[in-house]
Structure 1
């Protein structure tokens, strides 16, 4: 009987290292997520899960070249054996996250959203591609991020549009050490307006104390009914002791590239976690939920990862 090849972290890291060598000074995970948006956007309209026409500007040349050669991309995944399938599922969950958050923003705008705050904005392009924020004179989007990543982002935005858009306020903040509320209020944020706070691919990279301070700042500086939406991993993935192989791979890989996981929520505890911090109308979205919502028809056989969940809630 042929033995299944054992894949180590070194092989996984080496297989992807070339794709990130020219990632620049900003966040590597921001480039990885932009890569998923870019790749998904190249699929036919009736097949793609999410669409971002600007993602191509935020990926490395190596990622763009790999996208042109799907056979090479497939071979890269296959070289990792079963691990490649697990990573494919994680990638599909990331793309579903983009779609779900997009849909949530659009629904919020339809309900009268007046302000959008994107925390840990990375290379998020919602302020530029979703109808509503950019064509309403009084609608402001606040992009909050680490100065290094935000600086790289602003240069790209100027390349794309020729200048920085008037409706976007760029707020440089190190969310690990600085007080969010003070910086937001100093940038023109209006605490009386209906606001949505997006935290996509953020909280898991912050220490628990910083997560609590961000949520407290939102509650203390927002009107009743303002919303948050975020994604999270189980505590076991963050601690590195997940029973699932993909959980251990995710933990080790992110540590290897210098962006380790620091925060997770115990299974089944997200509602209690948010209630204690001043939120209500809590909705937890599991991998089964977004699999059923987006992966059907031509996408029915695409795997997703059970590790990544989403949640949204309102300020009490």
Structure 2
């Protein structure tokens, strides 16, 4: 189901890229999504009653956050649950940036052929590992340097994990993170589980014995529990998470809504 979600998100990125007012351009999304992605997107929107307007905003928010970090001198990124992401190919990234993608082997088995013959703009490393297994060893073996400040990304990931797995990922990343590292994530509200659009996924979860999808209305507390200082929290529709697509809304914590969060390890010289 999670792998199928990656194709769905790729299809959403492809459709967004075809809009004249697109928030980003992903020229690789259509070939990655294929018919499987279009079918997944169509089924999702049929169940929910329309397009998910949050996803393009979320993609752009992560894009902007990555580019700001690069401008601030960060040269190491770890993308947890990479799926069919293409940022190393489509963003204006420096050649000396090391970008590590972590996901299960079957994800890369489907992704790599679609990107064959295409050159990333930075140094891209794929790490085939289960995020509920010993992924730090695989990441380190791929060349990850825990002494370098790092941008950690968890986009569209936490919702599909159990609470203990979310906390485990945060704490493990914090243990590997050099001072002044960042953690970027989107965190869904617990209320999302009960939406009509989630019925198909909830039925699938129940049939396969998968734990309840994760939701949280106190993202600051979650970050602190995971070993990160909550630097910034916003919600879709806020001035920094809108891009003219969503009804205007205030930023900060808004229970019942998704949140886009930035956590940080303290600088080495912090008092």
Counterpart mapping for 1:74-153 below 5 A:
83-85=48-50, 88=51, 91-132=52-93, 135-136=94-95, 138-153=96-111
Query: CA offset at residue 234 of structure 1?
Result: 1.4
* 1:273 counterpart = 2:222: yes
Helix, strand or coil: the match of 1:289?
A: coil
* 1:197 counterpart = 2:146: no
Deviations 1:1-23 (A, max 9, x none): xxxxxxxxxxxxxxxxxxxxxxx
Query: CA offset at residue 49 of structure 1?
Result: 2.2
The runs of 4+ residues in structure 1 deviating greater than 4 Å are 62-65, 163-166, 256-261
Q: 1:32 to 1:261 in 2, by over 3 A?
A: farther
Structure 2 alignment gaps of length 5 or more: 249-255, 267-271
Q: Rg: which structure is higher? A: 1
Structure 2 residue aligned with 1:42: 18
Query: CA offset at residue 114 of structure 1?
Result: 1.1
Structure 1 residue aligned with 2:128: 172
In 2, Cα distance between the equivalents of 1:235 and 1:264? 7
In 1, Cα distance between the equivalents of 2:231 and 2:82? 23
RMSD: 3.1
Helix, strand or coil: the match of 2:229?
A: strand
Structure 2 residue aligned with 1:33: 9
- Alignment: residue pair count: 255
Query: CA offset at residue 95 of structure 1?
Result: 0.8
Match of 2:186 among 231, 252, 255: 231
Match of 1:254 among 201, 205, 222: 201
Query: CA offset at residue 37 of structure 1?
Result: 0.6
Match of 2:167 among 212, 220, 242: 212
Query: CA offset at residue 266 of structure 1?
Result: 3.1
Query: CA offset at residue 249 of structure 1?
Result: 2.3
Query: CA offset at residue 307 of structure 1?
Result: 3.9
Moved more, 198-207 or 281-290: 281-290
Query: CA offset at residue 300 of structure 1?
Result: 6.7
Structure 1 alignment gaps of length 5 or more: 1-24, 68-72
**TM-score of the superposed pair, with normalisation by structure 2:** 0.82
Contact 1:31 1:123 in 2 (8 A): yes
Q: 1:166 to 1:286 in 2, by over 3 A?
A: closer
Whichever structure has more helix as a proportion of its residues is 1
In 1, Cα distance between the equivalents of 2:9 and 2:237? 21
